[in-house]
Amino acid sequence: MDNYIRKASMAFAREVKQSEVYQEYARQLTRIKEQPELYGSVNEFRKKNFDIQNNGAPENMMERLEELDREYAWLRENALVEDFLDAELKFCRMMQEIDALIVGELDFQ
């Protein structure tokens, strides 16, 4: 990788870390990790959710997601879990927007 691009990328990553969205994600991640058993359950939920959205048949994805929500309803009722998942979702969406912006500025087909 070109040294200039590497330095610019590192500077950009530092800026992302300074954003309120990332800061909130980092706060919530720290909070939930203070309860390792709960964090483990959240990670199981996240992995299953990812697998459904990325590895399953699209025609029954909504059914499988609804089933997952029912299976983990007890977990989603926990305010700490919801705060973490909300912060994570906001951070992921911000990163998707950044990616779309960069790709949109390039002639990458």
At 72-92, the pLDDT tens digits run 999 999 999 999 999 999 999
The predicted model scores a pTM of 0.87
Residue 1 confidence class, pLDDT cut points 50, 70, 90: confident
What's the confidence (pLDDT) of residue 107?
82
What average pLDDT does the segment 1-5 reach? 90
Q: How far apart are CA 16 and CA 25, in angstroms?
A: 12
Separation of alpha carbons 8 and 2, rounded Å: 10
Q: Is pLDDT above 90 for 57? A: no
CA atoms within 13 A on the CB side of 37: 0
- How sure is the predictor about 18, in pLDDT bands with cuts at 50, 70 and 90? very high
Query: Side chain identity at 101, as an amino acid letter?
Result: L
**65 has a pLDDT exceeding 80:** yes
DSSP 3-state percent helix, strand, coil across the chain (nearest 5): 85, 0, 15
Is the pLDDT at 56 greater than 80? The verdict is no
**84 CB neighbour count, 10 Å cutoff:** 24
* pLDDT, greater one: 55 or 72: 72
* Structure confidence at residue 30 (pLDDT): 98
Token pair of 34 as six digits:
């203070």
How would DSSP label each residue in 45-70? Answer: HHHHHHHHHHHS-GGGHHHHHHHHHH
Distance of CA 80 to the CA centre of its chain: 16
